Amino acid sequence: MKTSAFVYPWDVNGDPEAPGRIAALGVTQVTLAAAYHSTRALTPRHPRHRVVTADHAAVLYPVDAGRWAGRALRPYPAGDWAPGDAYGEAAAALAEAGLEVHTWVVLAHNSRLGAEHPDTSVVNAYGDRYPWAPCIAQPDTRAYLTDLAVESAVRPGARGTELESLGWYGLAHLHAHDKTGGVGLGDAGQYLMSLCFCPACRAGYAARGLDADRLAADVRAALEPVWRGAPSDGGWTGVGKLLGEGKAAATRAWRDDTARTLQEATVTAVRAAAPEGFQILLHADPVSYHCGANAGVDPAHILSVADGVVVPCTGGAGPLAPFAEQGVAGAVLAANLTVVSGMGGSPATLAADAGRARDLGATELRLYHAGLASDDDLSAVREALGSS
């Protein structure tokens, strides 16, 4: 199977050995970050540094000033962690090593945007804002995300893109010193805590026959037993039990339609700007009401829009099945496997894990993450991929 490794520009720039080392893993492609959220990342083999701190969500190339002139919402340039055209520099070095380069674009995940433009953020039923989570129902935010996707995805020389967090973000988020795990919210509780009550979403609920104030009160009432320790599992059935099936269905209809139309518009815009044969994939979860980096989607719908999906499979390849069951000829179903043992991955079992993913319909592999993995992890990857 075609295999791609995720890479940051700072893994490559300033380390002349990095491109060859990545190619020697046995991969044929890299998925290189072009727009990325804030992070603190190890660079265990870099000759100049060991830790890179990206203070805020940023684009890792010079922005097109004309595209963003006069707009309040616009991408932030990177600081000294990725100066200048960091993406372009890394892409050129990786291509020189014989690797096909695709862009990695993070969209609806931006804490600085939420801090500087708080009205763009998801607002929960208690009135708390989630600054990391732009509300994808707001027209200005949707326009910003679509244009950011076009600019970041279609970089010079790129053969394709992978769009991450092109959908709803909610409560679940690895925030700095995150301390939100004290109560087990379960799948249903996470959904209720991720419902947005910004003006755009309140209007969306009203269009589906729901009074937003009453709905927010109902969400708070439904969650009260959960805060006291009552279980909130059961997937979508659990949401219906907590909120009532009718109200649950109406909120999901609003959110599903909002995400679907944004995904359609964004993929269409990227495709219009891209050269022929440019591949567009979404990082996706087959359960449409799920939130996060792997956006919740309807498998049949998203495979009618994009060229395929990248699906997290480190905990097992089960999430692939709903996409494979669609039987879409030529669709890319990429199993994303963590190969950093310190982050819960298992590079030692990569060959077996890849085989199981293939059996369940995977057509390609993604390895997270060539820059973060230890030398021992990379050795295991080379062995699994049959590289010397």
Token pair belonging to 345: 């991955």
Overall pTM surpassing 0.75 (yes/no): yes
pLDDT band at residue 233 under the 50/70/90 scheme: confident
What pLDDT, on the 0 to 100 scale, is given for residue 88? 98
Nearest residue to 340 (alpha-carbon basis) of 365, 311, 374, 314? 374
191-218 pLDDT, tens digit per residue, is 999 999 999 999 999 999 999 999 999 9
Mean pLDDT of the chain: 95
Q: Which residue type does 227 have?
A: W
104-162 pLDDT, tens digit per residue, is 999 999 999 999 999 999 999 999 999 999 999 999 999 999 999 999 999 999 999 99
What pLDDT, on the 0 to 100 scale, is given for residue 181? 61
Q: How far apart are CA 248 and CA 244, in angstroms?
A: 6
What pLDDT, on the 0 to 100 scale, is given for residue 245? 96
Token pair belonging to 91: 């892409």
Cα angle 152, 339, 91; round to 5 = 30
Q: In degrees rounded to 5, what are phi and psi of residue 378? A: -65, -35
Q: Which residue type does 319 have?
A: P
Average pLDDT of 227-246? Answer: 90
39-54 pLDDT, tens digit per residue, is 999 999 999 999 999 9
Average pLDDT of 330-343? Answer: 97
Is residue 388's pLDDT more than 50? no
Is residue 237's pLDDT more than 90? yes
Task: Tell the residue number behind the tokens 């940023």, with chain if given.
Answer: 58
Q: Which of 43-52, 224-233, 234-243, 284-293 has the lowest mean pLDDT?
A: 224-233
Which CATH code is given to the segment(s) 2-179+259-384? 3.20.20.80
Is residue 178's pLDDT more than 80? no
What pLDDT, on the 0 to 100 scale, is given for residue 173? 75
5-42 pLDDT, tens digit per residue, is 999 999 999 999 999 999 999 999 999 999 999 999 99
